[in-house]
Amino acid sequence: MGRAKNAGTLSAHVSNEIIVTIRNRAAPLNWTPSKFTALILEKWLNDGAPPVHPIDESMVRLSKLAEKEIRRKG
C-alpha cells in the first residue's frame, strides 16, 4: 500500500513481542514493519473484519440488528 489520497496513517501501542514478530516476518520480504502491518489489516478487512473482542462482537451484532430494522421500516 503506497501513499494515496484514500489512505492514512495509524499508530498503535503493542507489546514488544508483537513488534518483534512483525519485524521478523517483514525482514525476509524486504518490507517495512509498517507495510507488513498494513497487509495484516487489509487481510482482516478482506476477511469481513471479524470482531476482535467480545465487546466488539456485541457492537457488530447490534449494528446488524439496527440495519435490519431500518430496512424493515424503510
pLDDT digits (tens, 9 = 90+) for 22-49: 999 999 999 999 999 999 999 999 999 9
Say which residue, 30 or 64, is predicted with more confidence.
30
pLDDT recorded at residue 36? 97
Judged against a pLDDT cut of 70, whether residue 53 lies above it is answered with yes
pLDDT recorded at residue 34? 95
Q: Which three cell numbers stand for residue 34?
A: 509498517
pLDDT recorded at residue 44? 97
pLDDT recorded at residue 2? 57
CA distances from 50 to 19, 55, 60, 65 (A): 22, 12, 9, 16
